[in-house]
Structure 1
Amino acid sequence: MGYAIKLTGRNKKNAESLLHEVTLLLEKFKVNYALEGGTLLGIYRENRLLPWDSDVDISILSEELLKMDEVYKELHKSNYRIRIRTFEANDSPFQKGMTRLIKIRKKYFFGLLKGNVCLEIFIKFTDKEHVYWKVADKTMMAPKKFYENYTQIEFLNKHYTIPLLTEEYLTHKYGDWKKPNKNWNASTDELSILKN
């Protein structure tokens, strides 16, 4: 989010490859994930990554983190750079030290350079009725029903996991998601921002 690139040309190809390869690893180690944010919106609405987007987004529920060690090992072996972001303070429902975001990029030239395109895995935390996650300094909230059942969508000859209630979820996040908005900003325009 907020990277100074666009998913066009070589960046687009790299983003498609990154999404493909990382989700194959998640599937190999049975880590349940779903496409998220602009990635979900672009593939669902337009069968493409949005060219004005700047990264690739997926999400996992916090309990899936227990399966991630093998994924990290494989990513390292396959020349990926992984950065894990944690919560720096207790901020209910989040606890200091918990993983909030995983950033993955391809490495080049013996690891000296990182790829332009970042894949972000947002970690979502559940209670009885809601799911919570952080984007920048904002807490997001959505009904738990969006994370209870999933389906598949085909994109570039691969199937990806998406919420069964995708259209309802996109409405929750974006409002009128059918109309493209190239200036949309997650930290200000996201409708799932939890109002204090």
Structure 2
Amino acid sequence: MKGHITLLLVIFIIIFLFFFPKGCEKKFATLKENFSELIYPESQDILKCYQTLYDITKLFDKHKIEYYIDGGTLLGAVRHKGMIPWDDDLDVEVLQKDESKLTSDSFKQSLKKSGYNIHSYRLGYKIYKIGGRSIENYKWKYPFLDIFISKIEDNRTKLVLSNKNNNWDNCHFLKDELYPLKKYKFGKFKVTGPNDPYGYLNKCYGKDWNSVKYQEWNHKDEKRIEKVKSVLTKFDRKPATPMGPIKK
């Protein structure tokens, strides 16, 4: 009797291996995605990002520069109440009408006094600590805050780029999604953002933005990362730490 059972088991295994290999591969691929590795920034760089966003938004307010968080910073504010744990830069938009204030001597002097520098590039501006970490082949330093310049046209925001190739056209706000601006909790302080972020997040990141995680860019080295989606866990929803202390 035992011999018959053993024989049946052997036959079953052979049939399974011959007829279901593709299904197995698919399941293994899915399993691999669910355990995909993310690159996490160092603790000191996370704290520098929080400090940078705090410092620069205070300077925006001082110089009456209207801004609102976007990109990964907005996603972090909505989903994590702070930085995404595997994010390593900051994203804000400034309307074109205030761009001249960004390049004014007054604003640059305030930046320098606070230990920051500003650099223009094809997608807008980068603000970074003067003593930040150098990035090979790039003029700015890490970590940094990205400023994208936008304008309101046809009842929506549009990025103003010196490069005609706009890969972020989906990442826009309708005017009534943007205004009135409101405050968002970001770690231990608050920043300004759009009134209704959900339309933007759905268009920019896809409707699964609240259930998956992935990376596409390593800002420390300015290099692309293969995009591999995996399941967002309850633990993943916590904000990046340390969130302080923030120097005020």
Relative to the length of structure 1, the TM-score reads 0.74
2:43 is matched with: 9
Q: Which runs of 5+ in 1 are unaligned?
A: 87-99, 190-196
Q: Per-residue deviation at 1:108?
A: 2.0
Alpha-carbon distance in 2 for matches of 1:159, 1:140: 26
Deviation of 1:154 after TM superposition, in Å, equals 2.1
- Give 1:75's aligned residue: 111
CA-CA distance at 1:50 after TM superposition:
1.2
**Higher gyration radius (CA):** 2
Map Cα deviations across residues 9-61 of structure 1 (whole Å, 9 max, x no partner). Answer: 11100000000000010011111111111111112111221122221111111
- Equivalent position of 2:197 in the other structure: 166
Q: 1:107 is matched with which residue?
A: 130
Query: 2:186 pairs with 143, 155, 162, which one?
Result: 155
Amino acid at match of 1:164: N
User: Aligned residue for 2:78?
Assistant: 44
Preserved CA contact (<8 Å) 2:83 2:187: no
Shift in Å at residue 104 of structure 1? 0.7
> Which residue is 1:22 aligned to?
56
From the two aligned structures, give the one with the greater strand fraction: 1
Find the counterpart in structure 2 of residue 84 from structure 1: 120
Question: More displaced, 136-145 or 76-85?
Answer: 136-145
Query: How much does 1:118 deviate?
Result: 0.9
CA contact (8 A) 2:126 2:140 kept: no
State how far apart, in whole Å, the 2-side matches of 1:182 and 1:38 are. Answer: 11
Aligned-residue CA RMSD (Å): 2.9
How many angstroms apart in 2 are the aligned matches of 1:28 and 1:45?
A: 28
Distance 1:135 1:121 in 2: 14
Aligned pair 1:140/2:163, yes or no? no
Cα distance, 1:184 vs structure 2 = 4.5
* 2:176 aligned partner, one-letter code: K
Indicate the residue corresponding to 1:91 in structure 2: none
Q: TM-score, normalised by structure 2?
A: 0.60
* 2:118–2:125 Cα contact (<8 Å) kept: yes
- 1:126 and 2:126 matched: no
Question: Whose RCO is larger (CA < 8 A, sep 6+)?
Answer: 2
Letter in 2 for 1:181: K
